[in-house]
Amino acid sequence: MSTTWRTEQLRRLNQTMKAIEILAEYPDLTVIYQGKAWGYRDLLELSVRIFRLARQEGFDVHAFELWFAKDAELFAHYGLEWRVG
């Protein structure tokens, strides 16, 4: 994948994350954005995708790593692989 493609993906994913970030405070809600119903699991999946792309682009992802380690049980509860290393 090219750097330009990853950077554009990061920009789009960040826009989506901002649009559905209320789910972090209210995980039982469903948010409609871009014609899709987004739930809390989607928010978590999106964070993993952002982490992976950001790491590939050389961004500091330490805060993500701390969050993933702290909330390992939460990710497992939603069936998500939190060990993204």
Q: Is residue 68 part of a domain?
A: yes
Overall domain count for the chain: 1
How does pLDDT run across 13-66, given as a tens digit for each residue?
Answer: 999 999 999 999 999 999 999 999 999 999 989 998 999 899 988 999 999 888
CB 80 within 8 A of CB 44: yes
Residue 52 lies in a domain: yes
User: Is residue 38 situated within a structural domain?
Assistant: yes
Up-side HSE of residue 6: CA atoms within 13 Å toward CB? Answer: 14
Q: Is residue 84 a part of any domain in this protein?
A: no
pTM metric for this prediction: 0.80
Q: Report if residue 30 sits inside a domain.
A: yes
The parent domain of residue 67 ranges over 3-77
Contacts of 37 (CB under 8 A, 6+ apart): 30, 31
Q: Flag whether 82 is in a domain.
A: no
Question: Using one digit for the tens of pLDDT, what is the confidence trace for 66-81?
Answer: 888 888 888 888 887 7
Tell whether 85 is covered by a domain.
Answer: no
